Structure 1
Amino acid sequence: MAGLPVAITLLAVVAGCADRENDLDTYYDDRPAGGEAADSGDANGGGSEESAESTQGQREGHGAAPERAEPPVPARSSAMLTDDDVRAEGVTPVAPSSVTGDPAAPTCLTTIAGSPGAAEVDERAWTYPTGSTLHHLVTRYAERPAAEVLAEQVACGGEEIPVSGAPEGLDTHAWCQVGTCTVAIAAEDVLSTVEVRAAEPASAREAIDRLAPAAVAKHT
Structure 2
Amino acid sequence: MEKLNPDRFRVRKFGVSDVIVTSIGGKTQSYYVNPKELIKFNGFFTKLPNGEYLLLNEEGYQVEGQKGTWTVTDEKTIDEQRFVLMVNDQKPDLLPSIVVQSDGKFITSTASGFDNATVRKVRDLLHHEKFLENGTAERARESGTEQNYNMIDGCVNNVPKKPRVIGGRVSVLDRLHIKQAERARKDNAQVQQQERTRKN
Pairwise TM-score range, normalised by the shorter structure = under 0.3
Structure whose CA Rg is larger: 1
Higher RCO, Cα 8 Å, sep 6+ = 1
